Amino acid sequence: MSENVKVAIIGSTGYGGVELIRLLASHPQAVVTSVTSSSSAGAPIAEGFPHLSEIRTDMLDDVDPALIKSKADLVFLATPAGVAAKLVPSLLEAGLKVIDISGDFRLKSRDSYEKWYKKEAADQHYIDQAEYGLSEVYGDRVLGKDFISNPGCFPTATLLGLVPAVQAGYIDPATIIIDAKSGVSGAGRGASLGTHYSELNENFKAYKVNKHQHIPEIEQVLSDVAGRPVITTFTTHLVPMTRGIMSTMYASIQGERSLEDFISLYNNYYEGRRFVRIRQAGSWPATKEVWGSNYCDIGFSVDERTGRVTIVSVIDNLVKGAAGQAIQNLNLMMGWDETLGLQFVPAYP
């Protein structure tokens, strides 16, 4: 087992960054030695985040690769789209390991990134270096790597719910429809019209229909496991709750497959993977049952009338959908037990 690792967080004043601080506080082998800010360097981090009082007494550092390298071995980026694309080359050149939580290095095609994110893509050389860290699917590839691109929140819930069935040929990938719902912390800490209280409270709305930046990420992985190009219908909805994602997926079943066949397939696929829990027949996961934890819970129904399966997958967007999976990737990179520092029981109710 490797030594302890010193880590820095860029974007530590956002929701993903603050969640990294919370989770890493109880990690036995990682210590946060630098928290940075591009807008309030020099201020104590606990000033803006009183919940960190007496827990973190340090000041925010500038986003300076040389300074970060002098304090840390590895850096997490939890920054808006387009920032990591510019910063990562200098961080890697400084000799830091990198785990990027943003979408900047997930898509292997620069054209696809520019089309869906409407930002300038990173240099292809660095995109090629990034290992896509969907832990339960590609975790084996992460060991010993220096640069991980952490999956998106919706793709994590959706892909963990679809990959075993697509890979085994239990469903026809061309028929997949994904109906996804997110709590508002998924939109980050910055205020916007769509996320302020009176727009959100007592409301439930669809957004970015057929235009969401997670569509190509989901299709990239499904195409990989299906062995042929897959395109999907994916609709996101905003729910008036703080944390949580529920992805409900529908697809036509191929061959004779019972509910028990699906449950057994998924139990086998995720055997030994502690963060994916497969529900028994008739048990449907709810976002509260994974709240504050790194779990992804998945339930199924097989409809003999239509020949379709319904798959429901839930995660906490800030944990398994962001900071938690990023730490799981840190553990896998370092050759540690993937559950290190992540064994939280969901907070209930």
CB closer to ligand X2W, 8 vs 218: 218
Choose among ligand NDP, ligand X2W, none what residue 213 binds, the Cβ cut-off being 5 to 8 Å by kind.
ligand X2W
Q: How many CA atoms lie within 13 A of 179 on its CB side?
A: 8
- Is residue 152 at the binding interface for ligand X2W, with CB under 6 A as the rule? yes
Applying CB under 6 A, what is the total number of residues that bind ligand NDP? 31
Distances (CA, A) of 134 to 116, 298, 308: 20, 16, 26
Q: In the annotation, is 153 catalytic?
A: yes
Q: How far is the CB of 90 from ligand NDP (least distance, A)?
A: 12
What whole-number distance in Å separates Cα of residue 248 and Cα of residue 314?
9
- CA distance linking residue 298 with residue 136, whole number of Å: 14
Residue 257's closest CA among 299, 303, 226, 298?
Answer: 303
Q: Which stretch binds ligand X2W (CB under 6 A): 2-10, 56-64, 182-190, 331-339?
A: 182-190
Angle at the Cα of 180 (from 319 to 198), degrees rounded to 5? 85
Say whether 310 sits in a helix, a strand or coil. strand
Q: Taking CB under 6 A as the criterion, which residues in 249-288 touch ligand NDP?
A: none
The active-site residue out of 153, 245, 278, 326 is 153
Residues linked to residue 31 through DSSP beta bridges, in sequence order: 6
How many residues make up the chain in this entry? Answer: 349
| Backbone angles phi and psi of 189, in degrees to 5 | -85, -20
Binding mask 64-93 for ligand X2W (x = CB under 6 A): -----------------x------------
Q: How far is the CB of 238 from ligand X2W (least distance, A)?
A: 5
Q: Please say whether the beta carbons of 158 and 313 come within 8 A.
A: yes
Among 13, 34, 102, 156, binds ligand X2W (CB under 6 A): 102
List residues with catalytic annotation. Answer: 153
What residue ranges bind ligand NDP (CB under 6 A)? 10-11, 13-17, 37-40, 63, 78-81, 83, 101-103, 152-153, 185-186, 188-190, 317-318, 321-322
What residue ranges bind ligand X2W (CB under 6 A)? 81, 102-103, 152-153, 182, 186-187, 213, 236, 238
